[in-house]
Amino acid sequence: MAEPKTRPTQQPVSEFIAAQAEPRRREECQTLVDWMSEAAGVPAVMWGSGIVGFGSYLFTPSGGKPTDWPVLAFAPRKSDLTLYVLTNFPGQDELLARLGKHKTGKVCLYLKKLSDADPAVLRQIIQGSLDSMASRRVS
């Protein structure tokens, strides 16, 4: 079985952010780095070529091999900011209802732009996700 491509790298997060084409997206990325690193208490690390992650835990996909994955993460995609923060923590649905314009996936929160979200509510979502992951945290 092949090794996962999404692993921590030595690429500086600052270089990744600086390489974002739009100034607004660079600002959004830096804001998320600030909020997530403050909440997690660890610095941002590049995971693969496009995910900014914080901390790690051992994740086992259904039928798959256990692998490290970031406790909190985000990825600036062309059309959305993708935040890996939906862990079904208590109160998550109520916070999402107050967040502002967004879409969700199984574990992802999608924002067209950071200003679409209420910053206080988004920070509560980040903290709720982090708290729910505390028992699974490796580093």
Tokens of 49: 């070529």
For residue 50, what pLDDT band results from cuts at 50, 70 and 90?
very high
Question: Which pLDDT belongs to residue 96?
Answer: 98
For residue 52, what pLDDT band results from cuts at 50, 70 and 90?
very high
Question: Which pLDDT belongs to residue 66?
Answer: 80
Question: Which pLDDT belongs to residue 105?
Answer: 93
For residue 137, what pLDDT band results from cuts at 50, 70 and 90?
low
pTM of the predicted model as reported, rounded to 2 decimal places: 0.90
Question: pLDDT digit string (tens) for 71-130?
Answer: 999 999 989 999 999 999 999 999 999 999 999 999 999 999 999 999 999 999 999 999
Question: Which pLDDT belongs to residue 1?
Answer: 45
- Residue 75: beta bridge partners? 82
Stretch 58-74: mean pLDDT? 84
Domains in the chain: ranges and CATH = 13-134 (3.90.1150.200)
The DSSP letter of residue 20 is -
Q: Which amino acid is it at 100?
A: G
Residue 104, φ and ψ in degrees, nearest 5: -130, 155
